[in-house]
Amino acid sequence: MQEETAGSAIDTFISAFNASDDDYVTALLSQALTSDVVFWGPLGRSEGIEAVEQFVLDLRRHPAGAGTMVRCSAVDMPGEWARYQWVFTTPGGGPRLAGTDVVHLRRSLIDQIIVFAGEIEPVAG
């Protein structure tokens, strides 16, 4: 049951990266994250949906073009933290970024996110 709740919040979070329009990013993040979410990203620690939104918008504006983010593993929830793997791919065989996120949930919403990103590499064709 916990894995399903975490999976739903995670999938809504990931859908913000793939939103049809930047205007939908905030709405999707608001459905997945607490307002005081703590985000541990590649550039350090930040707080609030606005900080996560900026990260998502920056990735959506990747120089290689708008990419696609997908969850590529089941949600593993060995305790109060859940983890999953993801892949971000840019169009036309451009750079690919893969990693693992670890999230903590409070009242079915993500209140902490830790991003462990791997190296950017071209998609194998």
Q: Which pLDDT does position 3 carry in this prediction?
A: 80
Assign 59 a pLDDT band (cuts: 50, 70, 90). confident
Q: Which pLDDT does position 61 carry in this prediction?
A: 86
Pick 75 or 95 by higher pLDDT.
75
For every residue of the chain, DSSP letters joined together read -HHHHHHHHHHHHHHHHT-SSTHHHHHHHHHHEEEEEEEEETTEEEESHHHHHHHHHHHHT-TT---EEEE-S--B-SSSEEEEEEEEE-GGG-EEEEEEEEEEEETTEEEEEEEEEEEEEEPP-
Assign 1 a pLDDT band (cuts: 50, 70, 90). low
Average pLDDT along the chain: 87
Provide the whole-model pTM: 0.87
pLDDT of 16 over the 90 cut = yes
